[in-house]
């Protein structure tokens, strides 16, 4: 179990994360759609996640969403590295009605994000541009290289939910045990 906290003038965040869980979650960020996305992430990654965030949502949701990405990324990094005897690479395409989003990732301990889901506006009160901010903060702090790309879709809710689920499934697949893999790098360390 990894526990990470972050307290700033803008947010107070606490995360408890169990990598070998069953997908149980208790999420309270004060941002309904974001809670829904984090619950989907926990469910489909099979990571148990307890996350609370009290943020300056009276201004907007940016600080809360980005800082949750930072803290969740830190918890993931502490849980993943150093890695050995896992697949390391994972990918998934998740379909939600007309939408299909692909995530391919590498547990490289080097951060990179390609995010190609072009849309504007909101889902409920959630600015869709914040999803990219969340994923960027998460990848940087977790040391994951990921490509999250929409193959097709029009419905913003479907596209974003497919992105969170695709990341969850790809992460789960990258962490599958493989005793023959040793340290899955020609460098000998990740």
**102-153 pLDDT tens trace:** 999 999 999 999 999 999 999 999 999 999 999 999 999 999 999 999 999 9
Structure tokens at 82: 């150093």
Task: List, in order, residues 6 or more apart from 20 with CB less than 8 Å away.
Answer: none
What average pLDDT is seen over the chain? 96
| Host domain of residue 34 | 2-181
The CATH number linked to 45 is: 3.30.230.40
For 35-68, b/e burial (b = at least 16 CB within 10 A) is bbbbbbbbbbbbbbbbbbbebebeeebbbbbbbb
pLDDT at 138: 98
Task: Indicate whether 17 belongs to any domain.
Answer: yes
pTM higher than 0.95 for the full model? yes
Task: Indicate whether 112 belongs to any domain.
Answer: yes
pLDDT in tens, 18-52: 999 999 999 999 999 999 999 999 999 999 999 99
Strands 25-28 and 48-55: parallel
Task: Indicate whether 161 belongs to any domain.
Answer: yes
Q: Could you count the other beta carbons within 10 Å of the beta carbon of residue 116?
A: 12
Question: How far is it, in rounded angstroms, from Cα 12 to Cα 14?
Answer: 7
Task: Indicate whether 186 belongs to any domain.
Answer: no
Task: Indicate whether 46 belongs to any domain.
Answer: yes
Task: Indicate whether 156 belongs to any domain.
Answer: yes
Question: How far is it, in rounded angstroms, from Cα 2 to Cα 14?
Answer: 11
Task: Indicate whether 190 belongs to any domain.
Answer: no
Structure tokens at 1: 């179990």
Task: Indicate whether 116 belongs to any domain.
Answer: yes
Q: Tokens 């290289």 map to which residue?
A: 145
Domain count, the chain: 1
């Amino acid at each position: 179990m990894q526990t990470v906290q972050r307290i700033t003038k803008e947010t107070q965040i606490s995360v408890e994360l169990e990598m070998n869980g069953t997908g149980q979650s208790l999420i309270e960020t004060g941002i309904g759609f974001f809670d829904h996305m984090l619950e989907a992430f926990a469910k489909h990654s099979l990571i148990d996640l307890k996350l609370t965030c009290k943020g300056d949502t009276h201004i907007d949701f940016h600080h809360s969403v980005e800082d949750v990405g930072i803290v969740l990324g830190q918890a993931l990094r502490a849980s993943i590295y150093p890695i050995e005897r896992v697949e390391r690479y994972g990918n998934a395409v998740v379909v939600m009605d007309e939408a299909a989003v692909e995530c391919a990732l590498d547990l490289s301990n080097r951060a990179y994000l390609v995010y190609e889901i072009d849309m504007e506006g909101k889902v409920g009160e959630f600015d869709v541009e914040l999803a990219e901010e969340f994923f960027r903060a998460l990848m940087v702090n977790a040391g994951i290289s990921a490509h999250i790309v929409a193959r097709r879709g029009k419905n913003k809710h479907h596209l974003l939910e497919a992105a969170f689920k695709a990341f969850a499934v790809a992460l789960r697949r990258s962490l599958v045990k493989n005793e023959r893999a040793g340290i899955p790098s020609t460098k000998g360390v990740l």
